[in-house]
Structure 1
Amino acid sequence: MIQRIQTIYLILTFLLIGILPFIFPLWILEGGKEYFARENQIYTIVFGLSTAITIYSIISFKKRQTQFVANRLNIVLNLILLGLFVYHSLNLSGETVTVSKKGIGMFLPVLGIVFLVLANKAIKKDEDLVKSVDRLR
């Protein structure tokens, strides 16, 4: 259901995790070469898994508990992805001599986590509303 706010948050997460990392560079190397997510197979797989979980969460809008658990799994996956980015950026060869510039793509998992947390808050709010209505019956 597109009118629910959590669906909007999940669509924004889909855009941030599924599309933008392949458009914006993760970082710019010392020679001015841009490094994209598609150049590393691990990043591509993790971004693909996160995108698939986001799509599954959007589709399963009738099952709020499943949606909530899928979003939590997606948050953990994005934290792993962020850890991989930090590890890779700290271990780039030649980083002590020249510092590479961090691109906007490296911060996309952080924004994705923020939108997933907002979606989970909205799902919890919906679940509490349904439970309160059930108590009245």
Structure 2
Amino acid sequence: MIQRIQTVFLFLVVVAMILVMTFPIWHQVNPGQTQMMTLNAWNMSTSDIETGDVVESSSKLFIGILAIIAAGLAVFSILQYKNRTKQMMINMINSLVMVVNVGVIVWTTHSANEMFNPTVSGAFVVGFWAILGGMFMNLLANRFIRKDEMLVRSVDRIR
């Protein structure tokens, strides 16, 4: 049924992916200069701290697209409450999508860090931690779905 606890966890996955799409993922401030590099789900931009003007910007749409796919898979999984095995499979695929998204973000930030200022590492902020929170919520949802499936199978054995 749709009012189960795994539905709440899957809804929190959707909220986490929306946070990824709206908040910054990574910041780095160059101490020698007055520039700041920021990565969000849609682009990576270098801006001047004093004036706030964007000096350079490059598109990173694939991070946002992976977040949209993860949110869509979570919504689709919520709607598949009648077929628990299919729901678990969708959640496993969703976990894979989120792991790929984290890998892409780490690779992007590492290469940007090498280019911008290799002596100082940047800081992951709200958007990055939201992905990890979404992965944890997806794991909990899968656990409770599996628990429901095992309960239904044990009741079928008793009949």
The TM-score with structure 2 as length reference comes to 0.79
Distance in 2, matches of 1:107 and 1:80, equals: 15
Greater relative contact order (Cα < 8 A, sep 6+): 1
Distance in 2, matches of 1:114 and 1:63, equals: 22
Give the SS at the match of 1:8. Answer: helix
- Give the C-alpha shift of residue 2 in structure 1: 4.1
Distance in 2, matches of 1:78 and 1:102, equals: 16
Which stretches of structure 1, 4 residues or longer, exceed 6 Å deviation after superposition? none
Which ranges of structure 1 fall in alignment gaps of 5 or more residues? none
Could you say which structure has the larger radius of gyration?
2
Higher helix share: 1
The correspondence for 1:64, drawn from 80, 84, 99, is 84
Distance in 2, matches of 1:97 and 1:113, equals: 31
Which ranges of structure 2 fall in alignment gaps of 5 or more residues? 30-34, 44-59
Distance in 2, matches of 1:133 and 1:13, equals: 30
Give the SS at the match of 1:37. Answer: coil
Distance in 2, matches of 1:123 and 1:100, equals: 38
Higher strand share: 2
The C-alpha deviation readout for 1:11-45, integer Å capped at 9, x for no partner, is: 0011001x101222101243245432122211111
- Report the equivalent of 1:21: 20
The TM-score with structure 1 as length reference comes to 0.91
Percent identical among aligned pairs is 30
Q: Which amino acid aligns with 2:15?
A: L
Mean Cα deviation higher: 100-109 or 78-87: 100-109
The correspondence for 1:103, drawn from 125, 132, 142, is 125
Q: Which amino acid aligns with 2:139?
A: V
Q: How many residues align?
A: 136
What is the root-mean-square deviation in Å for CA atoms of aligned residues?
Answer: 1.5
- Give the C-alpha shift of residue 89 in structure 1: 1.4
- Report the equivalent of 1:112: 134
CA gap 1:33/1:90 in 2 versus in 1, 3 angstroms: closer
Give the SS at the match of 2:42. Answer: helix
